[in-house]
């Protein structure tokens, strides 16, 4: 083993420089600066090169983390990139937005006593360096094939599949109802976590590689039938977008809005688009007392967006406590630094106001016994009620699958009891030649899982094509 490793006992954990909260509040730029190369090398050298690397076991892509850390520690940056990109379509994106505290870093064996190796930050650094050094090239195939594949959805699942299929020479067409590619990378996740230029740089690579994007193309029943007739196989990677509702009195008042509408408007503004619902103030938090309901990553994105839009105050209501929230604790920490007020063990009981919301009546909870989710269930407290002022409420309670199979007008497309698409072990639906991947199969999940599913299903689609040609 290289001498430059095992430095975790002497070298403390360090992240790239984080911009001060006061500066972050004033813009939508990413909050971490780039690693200085020497700092990245030193951080990589903290790895103890475990025989059983739990970091790798808990990375959905099974990334070969110890190897790329060893190469980075020895300044073999190019090789480190080739190892990192062998299993991951978007390493610089995962390095930025994976909840590493719940995945690779949360399971690093040195985490308990010495704090984990900063795996995500090194992964981002290695890949950014590869971009700078012009190592990342279009994946134009050596030989073209005549068969074409239709992919519904240009999010991470669809894109990950597209790359592997295009590499094999297939003609890949991606259809998306939006005017830009990226799915939630583009219109969900805010710029301060993932700069849109980072996503666009990848999309440009797909275009240069011959993947054909068809924007503003909503696939409905008729279009779905056309795609099946036109392409050798079809992949549905349409994500999940049906917002979970709040069922409390007053929820129909004005200025109570769903998280995706709010975040999409903000992201569109970031692109410089004209956004009437933002420009008329409806989806703009500036000067407002904002209440966000929910405790997941979407809620964290909403509270931090509202701060940057210049809200007068931002309060997050979550019915469990900090330890039992689904969102990443790292994100909560950033939000607290930026001035978000967290009301733990609290949920809205009613919204009050004349036309638009003016106050939220809040029910306080305590934690009871563990429920089916494995977390302690919130129990309403008899005396625990208070009213807080609000003139914008954002509902961020998670997402369910849209109404499938009605969405594609194909009643025979099988769905699970959760409303997601039913697939077999390799990702094929019950319709021959129709596959599915990402959130539409898994339910609302993570980018890294969408990439994993997209890559896996591409392999199955290639095998399916081969079998149909032999038959």
- Residues near ligand SF4, by CB under 6 A: 47-50, 53-55, 59, 61, 63, 65-66, 69, 88, 94-95, 98, 100, 103-104, 108-110, 117, 119-120, 123, 448
| Least distance CB 66 / ligand FAD (angstroms) | 22
| Nearer CB in complex with ligand FAD: 250/438 | 438
Neighbours of 144 (CB within 10 A): 10
| Nearer CB in complex with ligand SF4: 47/302 | 47
| Least distance CB 71 / ligand SF4 (angstroms) | 13
| Least distance CB 368 / ligand FAD (angstroms) | 29
Q: Which of 299, 180, 284, 200 is nearest to 244 (CA)?
A: 299
The one of ligand SF4, ligand FAD, none whose footprint includes residue 445, by CB under 5 to 8 A per kind, is ligand FAD
The one of ligand FAD, ligand SF4, none whose footprint includes residue 109, by CB under 5 to 8 A per kind, is ligand SF4
Q: Are 54 and 109 in contact (CB under 8 A)?
A: yes
The one of ligand SF4, ligand FAD, none whose footprint includes residue 50, by CB under 5 to 8 A per kind, is ligand SF4
Beta bridge partners of 234: 150, 434
| Least distance CB 91 / ligand SF4 (angstroms) | 7
The one of ligand FAD, ligand SF4, none whose footprint includes residue 48, by CB under 5 to 8 A per kind, is ligand SF4
Burial 224-257 (b: 16+ CB within 10 A, else e): beebbeebbbbbbbbbbbbbeebeeebeebebbb
| Parallel/antiparallel/unpaired status of strands 242-243 and 399-400 | antiparallel
The one of ligand SF4, ligand FAD, none whose footprint includes residue 219, by CB under 5 to 8 A per kind, is ligand FAD
The one of ligand FAD, ligand SF4, none whose footprint includes residue 120, by CB under 5 to 8 A per kind, is ligand SF4
Instruction: Tell me the C-alpha distance between 441 and 424, whole Å.
Output: 11
Q: Which residues bind ligand FAD (CB under 6 A)?
A: 97-98, 152-158, 175-178, 183-184, 188-189, 193, 218-219, 237-239, 263, 297-298, 301, 407, 438-440, 445-448, 450
| Nearer CB in complex with ligand SF4: 96/320 | 96
Q: How many CA atoms lie within 13 A of 317 on its CB side?
A: 26
The one of ligand SF4, ligand FAD, none whose footprint includes residue 236, by CB under 5 to 8 A per kind, is none
Interacting residues of 256 by C-beta distance below 8 A, sequence separation 6+: 351, 357, 393, 395
| Nearer CB in complex with ligand FAD: 285/446 | 446
| Parallel/antiparallel/unpaired status of strands 376-389 and 359-370 | antiparallel
| Least distance CB 52 / ligand SF4 (angstroms) | 8
Interacting residues of 188 by C-beta distance below 8 A, sequence separation 6+: 260, 263, 264, 267, 298, 301
DSSP result, 372-402: TTSSEEEEEEEEEEEEEE-SEEEE---EE--
Alpha carbon 260 to its chain's center: 13
């Amino acid at each position: 083993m290289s001498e430059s490793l095992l430095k975790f006992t002497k070298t403390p954990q360090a992240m790239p420089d984080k911009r001060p909260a006061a500066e972050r509040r004033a813009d939508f730029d990413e909050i971490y600066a780039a690693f200085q190369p020497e700092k990245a090398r030193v951080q990589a050298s903290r790895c103890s090169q475990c025989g059983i690397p739990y970091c790798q076991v808990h990375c959905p892509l099974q990334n070969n983390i110890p190897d790329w850390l060893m190469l980075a520690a020895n300044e073999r940056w190019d090789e480190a990139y080739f190892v990192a990109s062998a299993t991951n379509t978007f390493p610089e994106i995962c390095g930025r937005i994976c909840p590493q505290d719940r995945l690779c870093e949360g399971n690093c064996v040195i985490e308990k006593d010495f704090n984990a190796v900063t795996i995500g930050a090194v992964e981002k650094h290695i890949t950014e360096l590869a971009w700078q050094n012009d190592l990342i090239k279009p994946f134009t195939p050596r030989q073209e094939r005549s068969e074409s594949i239709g992919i519904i959805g240009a999010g991470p699942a669809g894109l990950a599949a597209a790359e592997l299929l295009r590499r094999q020479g297939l003609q890949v067409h991606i259809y998306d109802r939006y005017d830009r590619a990226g799915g939630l990378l583009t219109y969900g996740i805010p710029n301060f976590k993932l700069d849109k230029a980072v996503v666009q740089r990848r999309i440009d690579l797909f275009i240069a590689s011959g993947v054909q994007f068809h924007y503003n193309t909503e696939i409905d029943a008729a279009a779905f039938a056309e795609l099946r007739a036109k392409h050798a196989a079809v992949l549905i990677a349409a994500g999940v977008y049906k917002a979970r509702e709040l069922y409390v009195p007053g929820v129909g008042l004005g200025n109570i809005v769903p998280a995706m509408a709010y975040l999409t408007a903000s992201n569109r503004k970031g692109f410089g688009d004209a956004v009437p619902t933002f420009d008329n103030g409806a989806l703009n938090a500036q000067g407002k007392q904002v209440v966000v309901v929910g405790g997941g990553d979407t809620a964290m994105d909403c509270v931090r967006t509202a701060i940057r839009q210049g809200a007068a105050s931002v309060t997050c209501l979550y019915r469990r406590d900090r330890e039992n929230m689904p969102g990443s604790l790292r994100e909560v920490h950033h939000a607290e630094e930026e001035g978000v007020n967290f009301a733990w063990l609290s949920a809205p009981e009613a919204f009050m106001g004349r036309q638009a919301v003016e106050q939220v009546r809040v029910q306080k909870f305590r934690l009871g016994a563990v429920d089916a989710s494995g977390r302690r269930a919130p129990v309403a407290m008899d005396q625990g009620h208070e009213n807080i002022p609000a003139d914008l409420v954002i509902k961020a309670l998670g997402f369910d699958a849209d109404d499938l199979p009605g969405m594609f007008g194909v009643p025979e497309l099988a769905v699970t009891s959760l409303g997601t698409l039913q697939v077999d072990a390799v990702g094929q639906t019950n319709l021959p030649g129709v596959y599915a991947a990402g959130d539409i199969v898994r339910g609302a999940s993570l980018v890294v899982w969408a990439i994993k599913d997209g890559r896996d299903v591409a392999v199955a689609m290639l095998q399916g094509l081969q079998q149909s040609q032999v038959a």
